[in-house]
Amino acid sequence: MAKPTAKKATRKTIRVSAPKTAPASTAAEPKAPRKLTKAQLIDEINKDLAKEYSALIQYVQHASVITGPQYDTISAELTVHSSEEHQHAITLSDQIDFLGGVPDVNVADIHISPDSKVMLEQDLEGELDAIARYRERIGQAEMLQEYGLRRALEDILIIEEEHARDLQSALDL
């Protein structure tokens, strides 16, 4: 296993899991923004919004159910994450409205488990997915010269990266 010093250094990097069909070397690279219309961008942000709603609910459930003295610190942190996902939902809902769209009230899939470690793995999977999606979305906002939206998405991305680091640390990754 990695030496403690090496391990500490790796925690500064967000490792995005590679899709099984993609080469690992490209996994952390932001996708090149694909061309899309403003209406398509609104649709994509509505999907992000549904995932923010599911994340906030998932974190509330996990914070309550997670057990084990080794998870005391992360349990409190999950509640903080939930509040931050709520703020992200508010930001995205406002941005959709600013863009002339209607914010959806859909909730994406929620993942639960009786196993505390699996809960954290589920949370981390959600964060890595969010990081990949927001990296793509920032490129799309830039392409459409929606600079206010880009800034809002960048602020969200910073928090998602913190969430991923918290979870990786709790999982001793």
Residues of this chain that interact with Fe ion (CB under 5 A) are 52, 85, 88, 127, 160, 163
Nearest distance from residue 51's CB to Fe ion, in Å?
Answer: 8
CB 142 within 8 A of CB 150: yes
Q: Give least dist CB 132 to Fe ion, A.
A: 12
Query: How many Cβ atoms from other residues are within 10 Å of residue 53's Cβ?
Result: 21
Contact 71, 116 (CB under 8 A): yes
Q: Which CB sits closer to Fe ion, 41 or 81?
A: 81
Residue 52 or 136 having the CB closest to Fe ion: 52
Taking the least distance from each CB to Fe ion, the nearer of 127 and 136 is 127
Shortest Cβ distance from residue 87 to Fe ion (Å)? Answer: 8
Scan for tokens 């995205």, then name that residue. 92
Residue 23 sits at φ, ψ, to 5 deg, of -65, 140
